[in-house]
Amino acid sequence: MLKIDLTGKRALVAGVADDAGFGFAIAKALAEAGASVSVGTWPPALNIFMNLLERGKMDESRKLSGGQLLKFEKIYPLDAAYDALADAPEDIRSNKRYKDTGDFSIDGLARRIEADFGKDSLDIVIHSLANGPEVKKPLLETSRSGYLAAISISAYSLTSMVSRLAPLMRKGGSFLSLTYMASERVIPGYGGGMSSAKAALESDTRVLAFEAGRKYGLRVNTISAGPLASRAASAIGIIEKMVEYCAGNSPLTEPLQAQEVGYTAAFLSSPLATGITGTVVYVDKGYHSMGMAPQEAPQS
């Protein structure tokens, strides 16, 4: 029987701070397939995330099909806005939510992974990171700093991670990020430069696939996921409306489930997908294929 088998593979999922989003669903799917999974968590959310785990508040969502709980090999502090610790302003480094975490930069993450597991120790890296501080503002009202912050955190961080983590990966390894259809079509309310950031992320995916493929033998892909009403997505302000609209205007009318993205990520990270790189894979119930909204709401 053909199945996804990630036994013996080590994965890093950057961008997990709770059990409600795509990052957690991907981590769980990778573990179900046999991978050992570490996560990178934004420092301001790190203590809350650790407390939820330690107090068993996430035990139900951590249950795997075999009955055991998803366990993280390591939990690393990560603020993908900074390539190196020296790049972080003093007020960030001295902030109470940061100062005791050590090196929370992307470079620090790479150094910790190498110290914990050595070189040639990673097989899968998931980039589940996005932030636009002015996402609720129309593009016409977005400041330069807000626009550049969205690009930096949501797009450039993938380039930085590939640059620093690729040398630690085994040949045949996989990088995977998460994008959104706002990269190619107008989504009113999804502002602050985030649509530009997603477009940059998809363009970079193609270039990085070529460069990392030739230099390291690695694959780079991205999943264009439909909207999900996660805690992180609530920052957009209209996420429930987005979910409802897409469900009503897609070929498949059920709202997208996080685990559906998780399953696709596990496949793309597996040996079954060795011929796929530089690609945007849509997991959105087919919404991307529609050119016109149905005249009547579909009957359920």
Share of the chain above pLDDT 90, in %: 86
Check: CB of residue 151 under 8 Å from CB of residue 193: yes
For the annotated catalytic residues, the residue numbers are 180, 190
Contact 290, 250 (CB under 8 A): yes
For tokens 């302003």, name the residue.
89
Residue 290 located in a structural domain: no
Token output for 122: 């990673």
228: pLDDT confidence band, cut at 50, 70 and 90? confident
| Domain boundaries, position 146 | 10-283
Least confident of 66-75, 148-157, 230-239: 230-239
- Residue 92's pLDDT is what? 97
Question: How far, in Å, are 84, 95, 164, 189, 276 from residue 287 at the CA level?
Answer: 39, 42, 35, 18, 22
Does some domain include residue 2? no
Instruction: Kindly give, in sequence order, each residue whose CB lies less than 8 Å from that of residue 296, ignoring residues fewer than 6 positions away.
Output: none
Report, as an integer, the average pLDDT of 203-231: 93
Is residue 265 situated within a structural domain? Answer: yes
One-letter-per-residue 3-state SS of the chain: CCCCCCCCCEEEEECCCCCCCHHHHHHHHHHHCCCEEEEEECHHHHHHHHHHHHCCCCHHHHECCCCCECCEEEEEECCCCCCCHHHCCHHHHCCCCCCCCCCCCHHHHHHHHHHHHCCCCEEEEEECCCCCCCCCCCHHHCCHHHHHHHHHHHHHHHHHHHHHHHHHEEEEEEEEEEECHHHCCCCCCCCCCHHHHHHHHHHHHHHHHHHHHHHHCCEEEEEEECCCCCCHHHHHCCHHHHHHHHHHCCCCCCCCCHHHHHHHHHHHCCHHHCCCCCCEEEECCCHHHCCCCCCCCCCC
Q: How far lies 31's CA from each of 71, 117, 122, 129, 199, in Å? A: 8, 18, 14, 20, 30
pLDDT at 231 over 80: no
Q: The whole model's pTM is what? A: 0.94
Residue 235 has pLDDT above 80, yes or no: no
Answer yes or no: is 294 within a domain: no
Task: Give residue 296's pLDDT.
Answer: 61
pLDDT > 60? residue 300: no
Whole-number pLDDT of residue 244 = 86
Residue 170, phi then psi, degrees to nearest 5: -80, 150
Total domains in the fold of the chain: 1
What's the pLDDT at 121? 96
pLDDT (tens digit, 9 = 90+) per residue, 154-202?
A: 999 999 999 999 999 999 999 999 999 999 999 998 999 999 999 999 9
Distance spanning both ends of the chain, measured CA to CA: 34
- What pLDDT score was predicted for residue 245? 87
pLDDT value at residue 140: 97
Regarding beta strands 36-41 and 122-127, do their DSSP bridges make them parallel or antiparallel, or are they unpaired? unpaired
Each residue's pLDDT tens digit, 1-29: 889 999 999 999 999 999 999 999 999 99
Residue 243 confidence class, pLDDT cut points 50, 70, 90: confident
For residue 298, the model assigns a pLDDT of: 52
Is the confidence at residue 117, as pLDDT, over 90? yes
One-letter amino acid at 219 equals: R
- CB neighbours of 117 closer than 8 A, spacing ≥ 6? 10, 168
- Considering the domain boundaries, does residue 128 fall inside one? yes
* Residue 1 domain-assigned (yes or no): no
The CATH number linked to 137 is 3.40.50.720
pLDDT at 141: 98
pLDDT recorded at residue 234: 64
Name the percent of the chain lying above pLDDT 70.
Answer: 95
The chain-wide mean pLDDT, for the chain, equals: 94
